[in-house]
Amino acid sequence: MVSAINLVFSNSKYLVLSFVIFSSMLVGLLIISEYIFLEPYVVSHIPSGTEFGFILIVTISALSALVLPMNIFRINILKKSKQKMGGGVFGSIIGAAAGACSCGPIGFAVISTFGSVGATATTFLTNYETPIRIVAIGILAITYFTSVRSLKIECKFDPKI
């Protein structure tokens, strides 16, 4: 696993992409989940009892920053090698989208315009926000391991080095 990470992140472009993905997802999800407030000035606050949600957001951001550059690297390799692409990119997109679904605060503004169906959807997303994030972490972890395995096969490097 370490060899695949070294292979991908030895290129500075993928390292910068990883940093951009991590920081933008982290800040975006923290703003949406109301851990960071922007008005009247920038304030960060983690209320008591919400530490687990904060850890889940950091984990989703870190896994997305690890998985997405690996899959982009894989796509670039497969363009040159004419092999068939698996579902690794789709898994990372689904995982990132599910992790970003902390729609409680935004849901009231967006989904409630649809009446009672919107209220039901908002309630569902608010109540099951933590399980959705845990499932997203599971999807991203599976995507990570399949990406590492496919990089070992496609790049033909010795994992012991």
- pLDDT one-digit tens code per residue, 123-147: 776 677 888 888 888 888 888 888 8
* Confidence at 14, pLDDT banded by 50, 70, 90: very high
Question: Could you tell me if 54 and 62 are in contact, meaning their C-beta atoms sit under 8 angstroms apart?
Answer: no
Q: Domain span at residue 44? A: 2-155
* Confidence at 2, pLDDT banded by 50, 70, 90: low
Query: 26 in a domain, yes or no?
Result: yes
Q: How far apart are CA 20 and CA 14, in angstroms?
A: 10
Query: 52 in a domain, yes or no?
Result: yes
Query: 121 in a domain, yes or no?
Result: yes
What is the average pLDDT value for the chain, to the nearest integer?
Answer: 77
Query: 33 in a domain, yes or no?
Result: yes
**For the chain, how many structural domains are there in total?**
1
Residue 62: its pLDDT value, please?
92
Query: 61 in a domain, yes or no?
Result: yes
What pLDDT digit, counting tens, does each position of 62-115 carry? 998 998 888 888 888 777 655 555 555 555 555 555 555 544 455 555 555 666
Residue 83: its pLDDT value, please?
55
Query: 82 in a domain, yes or no?
Result: yes
Provide the sign of the torsion angle of the four alpha carbons 51, 52, 57, 58, taken in this order. Answer: positive
Query: 161 in a domain, yes or no?
Result: no
Whether 161 has a pLDDT exceeding 50, the answer reads: no
Whether 17 has a pLDDT exceeding 50, the answer reads: yes
Question: Could you tell me if 133 and 98 are in contact, meaning their C-beta atoms sit under 8 angstroms apart?
Answer: yes
Number of C-beta neighbours around residue 133 at 10 A: 25
Q: Where are the alpha helices (DSSP H) in the chain?
A: 2-9, 12-32, 51-81, 88-99, 104-110, 116-127, 129-155
Residue 104: its pLDDT value, please?
47
Which is higher by pLDDT, 33 or 116? 33
Query: 81 in a domain, yes or no?
Result: yes
